[in-house]
Amino acid sequence: MAQIIKFLAVVALIGSIAWLVSAPGFEPALALVGSMASLVSAFVVEKRSKQHARQQQSVSKSSMGIQAGGDVSIGDINTDKHAK
Q: Provide the pLDDT confidence category of residue 37 given band limits of 50, 70 and 90.
A: very high
Number of alpha helices (DSSP H) and beta strands (DSSP E) in the chain: 2, 0
- pTM for this one? 0.56
Where does the pLDDT of residue 1 fall: very low under 50, low under 70, confident under 90, or very high at 90 and above? Answer: confident
Q: Which amino acid is at 63?
A: S
- At 42 the pLDDT is 87
pLDDT of 41-62, one tens digit each? 988 887 766 655 566 667 777 7
Greater model confidence, 10 or 48: 10
Give the integer Cα–Cα distance in Å for 61 and 38. Answer: 48
